[in-house]
Amino acid sequence: MKLEGTLETIPLHELIEMVSYSSVTGALNIYATSVNGHLYFRDGTLYHCDIDGSVGQPALVKLFEIGEAAFSFVSDVTCNEESIWGDIEEHIRLAQRLARRWQVIRSRVPSLEQIPVLVVSFEVALRRVGPFHHQVLDRINGQHTLADIVTDLGWTEIDVAEVVAQMIQDRLVDLRTEPATENETHPTVSGPRGSLFGRLLPRSGDTTQPGRVATEELILHAVGR
């Protein structure tokens, strides 16, 4: 089977479907400007893909993010790894949906190895973010990378990235490649903080009987309402 061209001519999802329907074995190679990706098929079944250090579903998402690239299918090429299982149509739908989300935020959050640093005080940031963002905000201390926060929270990478991208848009956070230093004067990078509600309790005025203070009251007290 000989197949080559560009993604502008034949979109990736159509290429995958063509190879699947042909029941062939080989590698579909994607040649983008700065990175190459590969999708491996066995009798038309996609069983592995990789690009730029990512494999499996995350790699498939990155492949769907690519707008302009050349491609070629090489028959009888195999790979010892296996990272994709199950319904390929479901994998494609999920990858396309996540790729659209990543395309919106990728310019603001290019890498999960970057370190978010608050550029306003924690109290100001707390007033300006929604409740869904509080757990991420609480872990921004100038030391943790986005990947660290993902691991700590157990969230998906894109959920954390979207929250931080919104904070960047709202001018609450910057991303850095190096940890913040101790001699920086900004109060948000002076060291690790306790948990969000651990800090809110002392502000409630009753630290001996925390059960008497509702969570909503703590939050309202913290934001000065």
Examine residue 160 and state whether it is found in any structural domain, yes or no.
yes
pLDDT higher than 80, residue 199: no
Q: Are residues 23 and 63 in the same domain?
A: yes
Q: Are residues 90 and 139 in the same domain?
A: no
Q: Are residues 130 and 100 in the same domain?
A: no
Cα–Cα distances in angstroms (integers) from residue 155 to residues 24, 35, 42, 149, 178, in the given order:
37, 27, 33, 8, 23
Per-residue pLDDT at 125:
95
Q: Are residues 22 and 99 in the same domain?
A: yes
Q: How many residues does the chain have?
A: 225
C-alpha 114/C-alpha 161 separation (Å) is 11
Which of 23, 57, 61, 27 is closest to 43 using CA atoms?
Answer: 23
pLDDT tens across 128-157, in order? Answer: 999 989 999 999 999 999 999 999 999 999
Q: Are residues 7 and 101 in the same domain?
A: yes
Examine residue 202 and state whether it is found in any structural domain, yes or no.
no
Are 69 and 6 in contact by the 8 Å Cβ rule? The answer is yes
Q: Tell me the pLDDT band of 182, cut-offs 50, 70 and 90.
A: low
Q: Are residues 15 and 73 in the same domain?
A: yes
Q: Tell me the pLDDT band of 160, cut-offs 50, 70 and 90.
A: very high
Q: Tell me the pLDDT band of 39, cut-offs 50, 70 and 90.
A: very high
Q: Are residues 84 and 140 in the same domain?
A: no
pLDDT higher than 70, residue 215: no
Q: Are residues 17 and 95 in the same domain?
A: yes
Examine residue 87 and state whether it is found in any structural domain, yes or no.
yes
Q: Are residues 20 and 38 in the same domain?
A: yes
pLDDT higher than 70, residue 211: no
Q: Note down the domain range covering 177.
A: 115-193
Examine residue 205 and state whether it is found in any structural domain, yes or no.
no
First to last CA, the chain: 68
Of 78, 105, 132, which marks where a domain is finished? Answer: 105
Examine residue 224 and state whether it is found in any structural domain, yes or no.
no
Q: Are residues 89 and 131 in the same domain?
A: no
Q: Are residues 23 and 43 in the same domain?
A: yes
C-alpha 19/C-alpha 179 separation (Å) is 46
pLDDT higher than 70, residue 208: no
DSSP 14: H
Of 105, 134, 155, which marks where a domain is finished? Answer: 105
How many separate domains does the chain show? 2
Examine residue 151 and state whether it is found in any structural domain, yes or no.
yes
Examine residue 121 and state whether it is found in any structural domain, yes or no.
yes
Q: What is the mean pLDDT of residues 157-181?
A: 93
DSSP 41: E
Residue where the block lists tokens 């979207």: 162
Per-residue pLDDT at 141:
93
pLDDT tens across 86-107, in order? Answer: 999 999 999 999 999 999 999 9
Q: Are residues 137 and 98 in the same domain?
A: no
Per-residue pLDDT at 207:
38
Chain-centroid distance, C-alpha 70: 26
Per-residue pLDDT at 49:
97
Per-residue pLDDT at 218:
40
Examine residue 200 and state whether it is found in any structural domain, yes or no.
no
